[in-house]
Amino acid sequence: MPGWNLLSTRVVVIISSVAHLGLVLCAEVRRNSATGFRIVILWVANQMSRWAPTTALAMLAAGRTPQEEQLVTLWVAFMLLHAGMPDNITAYALEDGVLSFRQSVNVFLQLVGPVSPAYILHQNMFAMPGDSMLWVSSIICCMAICKYLEGAFFALQRGNLENMRSESKKEVPSRRVTSLQSLRRGGKPDNDQIMLVAHGNLHITKGAFIDNLQYEHDAQQQEILPKTWDENKTLYKVVEMELSLMYDILYTKAAMVHTWGGYAIRVAFPFAGATAFLLFWFHSKEGQPTADVFITYILLAGTVILDIIWLLKAVASTWTYSFLNDRPRIWLHHALLCSGKWRLLRRLIVSLNLFRFLLSKEPTSYRMWSGTMGQYNILHECTSNDQDQTKTFLLTRIFISILVKIVPEDNCMEFQYHYLKGFRMSSDFCKHLFESIWEYLKSAYPPTVPIEKADEAKPAAPPEPYPDKKKEAPAPTPPLPPKEAHLHQRELEDALNFSPAFQESILIWHIATDVFLLCSHQYSSSSKEVQAIKVLSDYMVFLVAVRPNMLPGLKLRSLYEAVGYALTNDDEILPKEEYHGNLTEKKVKLAHRLVEMEQKPSLKNALRSKWRPGVSGHWLRPEKASILYDKNIILSDGTSFARVLLSRIGPNPYTPDDINLNYTRYQRLIDMIPELKDESNRFDTSKMMRLIFRAWVRLLVYASVRCTRDSHAKQLACGGELTTIVWILNEHAGIFRIDSDKDDDKDRLTSLYTNEDRLYL
């Protein structure tokens, strides 16, 4: 090769190898992180790993001398091997799994095109007949073709949601499910036990992602979940593990590795790579540059080492246990599982500390969600300024100001409000949150009524309105058709009484919550309930501002931007010269100012609102509009709701005698907290806090179950999300059902059949 071409080729080959190694080392970080230094390294490595092989192939084919001809074929094969991606990553984004016709043709050309390993190897068969280097090139070429097909085609196909849905229609739904009761017996289960149970129930999560829930719908075979969250804490970890397994399917080669073909490749490749290494070792290096020989040794040795690691990780993977457990008739099931040898092998391999320095002390703990909830508070953002934040966040502010100029705004906000300001869930907060979620799920999913008990509880049947319409004996419950597969979601909607205009509801409730806490002097309280309300409120607004794709409905960032603009740019609301003191004092002054403006009627005529139809639920400006209403409808509604909440905890200057709760504008408040419907109800502060927290939990559950499946799947590759865990927890509750109080069973059954009989009247 000419000097410059030779040097540039070496650089590209080295870049490809380093990028491949970067993917190997950093791919797992995406399970529980969306931003950070290692995410940047992973993104760069992914881009380089896709760019370098194509560039290197073109350079290697551009010009070469006979002395370098032998290494050319080998390097071409290595470039294709790297393009096949390592076992722990195939798709960087969910869209990568959608193979178009153009991409399929490109895969074919990479294998048989004019610069493919197969083509160059075919040429070298005539140029170097009988040369030992030909055998080395042939071995690596075959390995590259297998790995490239596996990673660039078959693994992506198996990880595509639409393909999984199509395949599921051809499968016979399995009735076998791993019991959750085993985790509640014999003390606290370890992560390995939880992982195996997650494999046994993965069909529930997989069915939710592919919109196919025809699995465990036979009421006679269901396992009823305990009624209290304390008895179901392990289910939270099971759901985390199941989501991690879905990440494996969508973004790694797991769906392809753990097949007969995948295992055959993992067993054969270390031996094939070692054979190629030995053949090259004994091959004459005469006429070949020392640098090229050294690079080739590095490539061969690295390939052998990685193949050994992938083999050991495949053997020790719980996917292998699940693969063998689903095939009880093969001899490997008895030889490895029944004898306990697989567990011994797993312990031995785990003790070798493979990649332990990248993960954590527990071999399966890296599969857990990070537990970080992003935080975005509108009043905080509008009352804080550079001077406030410079005192403690000088370096951070400098870094963010630089980051804004070089990365998109979305990524910058993700880093700032999730990575820097995110709230790490404590065990107490997690317990408190999921206890409230479980109460909602329990009300939505009582146990399915067995036929025998239903007959006992059923009251005397009313006269048949249609004598010719005879009731037949119930047949065995078949798998639900696609139309009825979402019945349990409808049950949840009925139980929680959801309403539209969701993003607007979040912002209104966020303003109402903050104004209420500030005016009631509870904002700085250390109460567990108050802290939980603030965290959950800021988290939901974080979804509106930073991750709107994780919410149902239109992705309108203009909603929160309009609120922020009104607070920061309207001197009548926030005159800068009047706000002094610390940040909390500024927020208190702002809250009182909002209440004062909401109390003052506007002098403007009742004309059509200046806000766009569809952004708010208000098409016409009400006759008794306030000054704040003309500034921003969301601020007005939120402040009005806060006034109502303040009026229900005792006498105060903000008692809203002029507010009619039956007016449509305030119907959402009654829907969120039904206890407010009776205007005579009064609550102490702690009771009101519980009601507000329950309202936020209700919004969280709604956001979880109404978010699109694709959005949940995409977020798995960005660290996961709390709403995804709640969604899958809801799917489990809808299938297993939740135990209820036995004293209420008879009343529930009687009510059930009374409502059923009314359908015929």
First to last CA, the chain: 90
Q: Which domain holds residue 17?
A: 3-163+250-366
Residue 78 in domain: yes
Neighbouring CB atoms inside 10 A of 105's CB total: 10
Domain membership of residue 448 (yes or no) is no
Q: What are phi and psi of 79, to 5 degrees?
A: -65, -40
3-state SS assignment for residue 493: helix
- 613 phi, psi to nearest 5 deg: -60, 140
Asked if 18 and 47 touch (Cβ cutoff 8 Å), the reply is no
Q: How far apart are CA 708 and CA 551, in angstroms?
A: 8
Helix (H) or strand (E) holding 434, with range, is helix 427-444
> What tokens does 713 get?
């799947």
580 contact partners, CB below 8 Å, separation of at least 6? 586
pLDDT above 90: percentage of residues in the chain: 30
569-603 pLDDT, tens digit per residue, is: 888 887 766 666 678 888 988 999 999 888 888 77
Does a structural domain hold residue 629? Answer: no
CB atoms closer than 10 angstroms to residue 257: 24
- Mean pLDDT, consecutive 10-residue stretches, the chain (761 aa), reads 66 90 90 82 88 71 59 81 91 80 72 68 64 83 91 90 84 60 66 88 91 56 68 86 94 95 96 95 82 92 95 94 90 88 90 59 68 94 67 60 72 88 92 91 76 49 45 44 44 55 89 94 87 96 94 82 87 73 84 88 58 44 76 89 86 56 64 82 89 95 94 93 95 81 44 32 28
pLDDT, one tens digit per residue, over 517-532 is 999 888 888 889 999 9
Question: Rounded to whole angstroms, what are the CA distances from 277 to 14, 71, 74, 123, 721?
Answer: 18, 13, 12, 22, 45
Distances (CA, A) of 462 to 451, 468, 582: 19, 15, 69
Q: What is the C-alpha to C-alpha distance for residues 452 and 474, in angstroms, rounded to an integer?
A: 11
SS3 string of 15-33?
HHHHHHHHHHHHHHHHHCC
d(CA 601, CA 56): 72
The count of structural domains within the chain is 1
Please check whether residue 79 lies inside any domain of the structure: yes
Q: What is the pLDDT of residue 613?
A: 35
**Structure tokens belonging to residue 425:** 């869930």
314 in a domain, yes or no?
yes
CA 193 to each of CA 174, 214, 345, 352, 450: distance values in angstroms, whole numbers, following the listed order: 21, 26, 16, 20, 31
Distant-in-sequence, close-in-space partners of 504: CB < 8 Å, separation ≥ 6: 559, 615, 616, 617, 634
Determine, yes or no, domain membership for 112: yes
In a domain, 292, yes or no: yes
Q: Please enumerate in sequence order all residues whose Cβ is within 8 A of that of 383, keeping only pairs 6 or more positions apart, or say none.
A: 574, 579, 583, 586, 587, 590
| Continuous segment of H or E residues that includes residue 423 | strand 423-424
Give the strand pairing for 423-424 and 372-373: antiparallel
* Residue 723 · residue 700 · CB < 8 Å: yes
Three-state secondary-structure class, residue 150: helix
Residue 301: predicted pLDDT: 96
In angstroms, the CA 121 to CA 80 distance is: 13
Whether 10 is in a domain gets the answer yes
Query: Which of 557-572 are b and which e, b meaning 16 or more Cβ less than 10 Å from the residue's Cβ?
Result: eebbebbbebbeeeee
* Angle, CA 500 vertex, CA 537 and CA 236 arms, to 5°: 50
